[in-house]
Chain A
């Protein structure tokens, strides 16, 4: 029987049982339906393709991975899923709450930051950066200081008339590489490979905030192995660009005709919320310092 979940700001009625996404309380119509069915292996005349994603001219998106199956997204309202024969539930959910969620948000006209997000004592802080910049690791470090994870890797933002930019919670699933997993001494039980053959593991965040929060800062993470960690305020245009570094799967968004909306969204965000650049060496030696820098800078602006 299909269940109703609170999925990145949408009410998702899902034929698949999800374990990292909170169920919706009460009744109400679904915004998005996930059903099981046959999904074609390709789209006719796609306008944009990547190894995982294919976008048709009308905005239909086909996504898939061999170990998971195929997902067809239409109009930001329907997801048809054809599971692979050996698909593992955790992999399917990781794919659904990751790449599929990002594309769904694009179809629904939401601004999806490529960021992990935590709810701190000052409000929500988005930790933005491309793959390998330490979004999940720093989010975990901040949760060890009392913050609550709101989402990992994708942070949907909506603009509220009264509050300004608001971060929308996503999945409680946290994705960590083995070294981060070991550093934080996460218990092995419940942490499973995100994908067959992948070292990255997914597990439930210990503390998860499931309500929207006012976004107080965006932190752009930059690797710098030459210097100790530092933080600086970014102002003007540089705070908002490159838009492709801030927005999750910007290429898909462009293929869906969202270039202008995403540019304006990124600029509006940078105009309304302080944006910081944190430069930090790879590894774990400076994590406490980085957490102090972020919390100190955000606290000064609230």
Chain B
């Protein structure tokens, strides 16, 4: 999955994922397989940043500017989150030349 992130640069929400707020949590549902996911505050914010397709570099910069802390650690955490989301098909990655 790391290679996916390296090879593909444009990230966007999978259109088959529905999202809605419930009790301060962001709830996601996969239309395809009926799986549900709950995103916490930080993950919810990243999800909102993905409302429009965004380059990985720009997303990293947005997250780094939104949160205080070690930028290297923030980027590492972001990549882990995105890799997990790619694995669960919550988001899709498209090649850079699709920019």
Q: Is the interface of A mostly helix, strand, loop or mixed?
A: helix
Closest chain A CB from B18 CB (angstroms): 5
Give 1 or 0 for each of A237-267: 1 = CB within 8 Å of chain B CB: 1011111100000000000000110011001
Q: Is the interface of B mostly helix, strand, loop or mixed?
A: strand
- CB of B63 within 8 Å of the partner chain: no
B36 near A271 (CB under 8 angstroms)?
no
Question: Complex formed: what's the CA distance from A46 to B24 in Å?
Answer: 40
A241 near B21 (CB under 8 angstroms)?
no
- CB of A144 within 8 Å of the partner chain: no
Question: Complex formed: what's the CA distance from A175 to B20 in Å?
Answer: 35
Closest chain B CB from A223 CB (angstroms): 22
Interface centre among B23, B31, B37 (most CB of A within 10 A): B23
Query: Size of chain B's interface in residues, with CB distance under 8 A?
Result: 14
Q: How many A-B residue pairs have CB under 8 A?
A: 44
Find A237's partner among B31, B34, B36 (CB 8 Å cutoff): B36
Q: Which B residues are CB-close (under 8 A) to A235?
A: 23
Give 1 or 0 for each of B12-25: 1 = CB within 8 Å of chain A CB: 00000010111111
A271 near B23 (CB under 8 angstroms)?
yes
Question: Complex formed: what's the CA distance from A237 to B29 in Å?
Answer: 10
A271 near B34 (CB under 8 angstroms)?
no
Give 1 or 0 for each of A45-83: 1 = CB within 8 Å of chain B CB: 000000000000000000000000000000000000000
- CB of A268 within 8 Å of the partner chain: yes
B22 near A244 (CB under 8 angstroms)?
no
A241 near B23 (CB under 8 angstroms)?
no
A241 near B36 (CB under 8 angstroms)?
yes
**Residues 1 to 49 of chain B near chain A (Cβ within 8 Å):** 18, 20-25, 27, 29, 31, 34, 36-38
A267 near B36 (CB under 8 angstroms)?
no
Show the binding face of A for B, using Cβ within 8 Å: 235-237, 239-244, 259-260, 263-264, 267-268, 270-271
The 8 closest A-B CB pairs, nearest first, are A267-B20, A237-B38, A237-B27, A236-B23, A236-B25, A267-B22, A241-B36, A271-B22
